[in-house]
Chain A
Amino acid sequence: MITRPHLRGAAALAAVALAATACGSSQSAASDALRIAGPFEIHSLEPSSDGYFFTRLHVTETLVTADVEGNLVPGLATAWSADEANKIWTFELADGVEFHDGKPMTPENVVAVLQKMAADAASPLADVGVETIRADGSSVVIELSEPNVSVPATLSHYSTGILAPSSYDADGKVEKVIGTGPYEVAEVSLPSRIETVRVADWRGVEPDVEKVSFQAVGRAESRAVMATGGQADVVFGLEPAGRERVESTDGVDMVSALQPRTILMKMNAADPALKDVRVRQAISMALDRESIAEAVLREKDIAATQLLTPTLADWDAELEPLTYDAEQAKALLAEAGWKAGADGTVAKDGKPLTLELLTYPDRPELPALATAIQAELKKVGVQVDVEVTNSSEVPAKHGDGSLQMALVAKSFALISDPLPTVADTFAEGGSDWGTMGWSDPAVDEAVAALMAGAEGEEAAQHRRTIVTTAQEQLPLVPVSWYRMNAAVSDRVEGFQIDALETSWRITDIELAG
């Protein structure tokens, strides 16, 4: 019960408590820890779900990894080779590797982990056609049923990070992440926080940063406050408004890199309206990509001119860029039989052209872009209903054929080599996140040849075939590329942004102050 004297006491107490927590907050933690904040939550400790947190934080390591340019470099494997037919792959393991629980890493440990992943539908290792995985002396041998050139790139994927046997509980689920990297887990609090600490005397190397904390923060405005208020040292994924504020704040700068990720519209080419290539071209021409990118992403120069980002040098084939031409779009629609009706919507045989565009909220720019696309297409008489839903609706509706269009953010570098992803995108008969109801014999042939290990000029020719056909036929309509960004505090030195996000390169960072 509160009396006035008590009340004063209580108020004073509360004030003291608040002040104490405030003083205890940002300052003390800032001294020795690198504080990272990002938009995505840690849903699970299973490596095939969100294992990338632990590879990026240098807790787990993969057999093969990638440098900042995306070239494959040795990880836990020092060397690798394949037989003539690209069917038997041998990975020589580094020796003297220890898990964080002090036990040495054996080839059998590695085999156990890889076998688990080869049987896990969510790992790319399950898609390379593994027959057997076995230990052979100090190396690991992977035998395939089909030739595959991208096995080393696949083994750079986070799901194949090597965990100690003691990571698993009785049911084979991961209960603790015990890896081999220079940092070990101090605490994980799902779904929002991971704290790691430097491993003492790790292979004779000592990174400068002693402690690292990662905090998942779902709302972009909260992340912007953290970046400008000095409550985090590295903040990933700021939205345009937040970026502008960071740029005008002292002591923190924006760093960015173009990611091999394209925001595109997956078109159902079996749909009565969309099966006409002219309609797909009209939809593409109706998009003023530069204005959309400028208004929604505040970056004019990432408006897509083609499906694959120019950063994927092997795949850059000097294509005729996609352009904006609303008049031409209307003409194409008319040519395809869609005539403007009374209410401005084009119609054919009395049926107006209304299309459903599916997208998902996991990446905040997607619903925003969908809204912009909706308005752009309305100008040429195409009515679009936007449905923001769960990302799994895209493969689900692909499966039952009810999808019309979906706006998705597709990464072409889930592993360090884009080829498997491209092959999957243009798979014969379509794929969940690739083409739908569309096929082209020349493209099918080119994909098969590349997957079988074509090289040199022949491979370049096949790659050209694929991207040129895609540009003309538009089974996927590119909208924009994606630039990954981070706000980095001035006390962080040596921060490098890695377009493939293989790792956050914490070992190269030095903290001032």
Chain B
Amino acid sequence: MSMLMLEQTVGARPVRSSRQARYIAWTRIASLVGLGLIIAFALVGPLVLPDPAAQDLARYLQPPSVADPLGTDDYGRSVASRVAHATRVSLLLAAVCVATALILGCVAGVLSAWFGGWVDALLRSISEAFVAVPALLVVLLVSALAAPGSMVALYVGLALVQWVEFFRVVRARSALVLGSPAVEAAGLLQLGWPHVVRRHLWPALRPLLVTLSSLGMVTSILAMSTLGFVKVGLQPPRAELGLMITESFPFYDAAPWMPLAPVAVLFCLTVCLLGLRSNEEGR
């Protein structure tokens, strides 16, 4: 899961020309618009579309029509409605996971850089232990512990796996900032820690955190869909993007709209989130 940091550090390219800068700005705007549309779909869709669990067994695998813009699945349920619900679940869960990982990682990272010494050593060894334990195992065990179908397991598993990333990046960057002459001067002037956090740490960390969060969202959403594929932690009739893809794939030639819808949402969602990354150079 350390992909994030590396992606972050190597992924940002120095801005070279105004043309490139314009291109990058345009990408971010397009990503924001796309993300906005998907979020709107996830929030409004469930309100206006029919119940995603309502089956009409006589109308299975109907092609798209006015009533069902994306057709029906093998139980005669509305695919559009199921995709909307699945998107909402994915987005919410990913957001909560990333928020948890961000708070944990930030607090731990800043503490580690601020105090150094044994605090740093302790936090580092905890994070090292997390890195060495396969994330998959953590998620599997946590989801086996929880009641079937409970989202808590997925949440705890994914958050535990992700906080290390935030911790490392924040710690490295904070150490640089706190060691800088400006902060030393602030220390001499007795300006106190809130000033240092607000004036020095936050501006330096903010772009990093935006990037890390958007990547974290991508990781969470993909991990969720992957777990859905292995059928971990879900209970019928809940709709989940990965599970929908898996369940509808056998019908790829009979009812192509069924797998296409969740695949398209998943793809657009991740591409938009990737486009959001801040282009601040992370070295």
Q: When A and B assemble into the complex, do they touch directly, with CB atoms less than 8 Å apart?
A: yes
Chain A interface residues (CB < 8 Å from chain B):
220-221, 224, 239-242, 244-245, 288, 291-292, 294-296, 361, 367, 370-372, 374-376, 378, 385-389
Supply 4 further A-B pairs (C-beta < 8 A) apart from A288-B57, A371-B75, A374-B237: A296-B74, A374-B236, A387-B148, A388-B231
Q: Which residues of B contact A387 (CB under 8 A)?
A: 148-149, 235
Q: Which residues of B contact A220 (CB under 8 A)?
A: 250
Interface residues of B in 88-106 (CB under 8 A from A): none
CA of A349 to CA of B236, assembled, Å: 29
Q: Which residues of B contact A245 (CB under 8 A)?
A: 253
Q: How far is the CB of A240 from chain B (nearest CB, A)?
A: 8
Supply 29 A–B pairs (Cβ within 8 Å), ascending by A: A220-B250, A221-B249, A221-B250, A240-B74, A240-B250, A241-B250, A241-B254, A291-B57, A291-B58, A295-B55, A295-B60, A295-B74, A295-B75, A295-B76, A296-B74, A296-B75, A371-B236, A372-B55, A372-B75, A374-B236, A375-B55, A375-B237, A376-B55, A378-B53, A386-B236, A387-B148, A387-B235, A388-B235, A388-B236
CB closest chain-B residue, reference A359: B236
What per-residue 1/0 map shows which CB atoms of B218-255 lie under 8 Å from chain A?
00000000000001000111000000000001110110
- Residue pair A294, B236 in contact (C-beta under 8 Å): no
Q: Which residues of A contact B57 (CB under 8 A)?
A: 288, 291-292, 294-295, 372, 375
Q: How far is the CB of A494 from chain B (nearest CB, A)?
A: 30
Which range contains the number of B residues in contact with the other chain? 20 to 34
CB closest chain-B residue, reference A292: B57
- Residue pair A241, B251 in contact (C-beta under 8 Å): yes
> Which 9 A-B pairs rank lowest in CB-CB distance, beginning with the nearest?
A241-B250, A375-B55, A291-B57, A295-B57, A371-B236, A295-B60, A221-B250, A241-B251, A386-B236
- Residue pair B148, A389 in contact (C-beta under 8 Å): yes
Interface of A is mostly: helix
Chain B interface residues (CB < 8 Å from chain A):
53-55, 57-58, 60, 74-76, 148-149, 231, 235-237, 249-251, 253-254
Q: How far is the CB of B70 from chain A (nearest CB, A)?
A: 18
Q: Which residues of B contact A372 (CB under 8 A)?
A: 55, 57, 75
Partner of B53, one of A242, A291, A375: A375
Q: Which residues of A contact B249 (CB under 8 A)?
A: 221
Q: Which residues of B contact A244 (CB under 8 A)?
A: 254
CA of A319 to CA of B249, assembled, Å: 40
Partner of B148, one of A241, A375, A388: A388
CA of A294 to CA of B231, assembled, Å: 24
CB closest chain-B residue, reference A367: B236
Q: How far is the CB of A361 from chain B (nearest CB, A)?
A: 7
Q: Which residues of A contact B74 (CB under 8 A)?
A: 240, 295-296
CA of A195 to CA of B118, assembled, Å: 59
CA of A367 to CA of B148, assembled, Å: 13
Q: How far is the CB of A295 from chain B (nearest CB, A)?
A: 4
Given A292-B57, A375-B53, A375-B75: A224 in contact with B250 (beta carbons within 8 A): yes
Q: Which residues of B contact A241 (CB under 8 A)?
A: 250-251, 254
CB closest chain-B residue, reference A221: B250
Q: Which residues of A contact B76 (CB under 8 A)?
A: 295
CA of A221 to CA of B254, assembled, Å: 14
Q: Which residues of A contact B148 (CB under 8 A)?
A: 387-389
Q: Which residues of A contact B254 (CB under 8 A)?
A: 241, 244
- Residue pair B231, A361 in contact (C-beta under 8 Å): yes
Q: How far is the CB of A217 from chain B (nearest CB, A)?
A: 14
- Residue pair A370, B250 in contact (C-beta under 8 Å): no
Q: Which residues of B contact A361 (CB under 8 A)?
A: 231
CA of A462 to CA of B131, assembled, Å: 66
CA of A292 to CA of B57, assembled, Å: 7
Q: How far is the CB of B256 from chain A (nearest CB, A)?
A: 12
Given A288-B57, A294-B57: A371 in contact with B237 (beta carbons within 8 A): yes
CA of A242 to CA of B53, assembled, Å: 24
Q: Which residues of A contact B250 (CB under 8 A)?
A: 220-221, 224, 239-242
Q: Which residues of B contact A388 (CB under 8 A)?
A: 148, 231, 235-236
Q: How far is the CB of A160 from chain B (nearest CB, A)?
A: 35
CA of A378 to CA of B235, assembled, Å: 16
Q: How far is the CB of B63 from chain A (nearest CB, A)?
A: 16
Q: Which residues of A contact B237 (CB under 8 A)?
A: 371, 374-375, 386
CA of A371 to CA of B148, assembled, Å: 15
CA of A308 to CA of B57, assembled, Å: 25
CA of A295 to CA of B60, assembled, Å: 7
CA of A295 to CA of B58, assembled, Å: 7
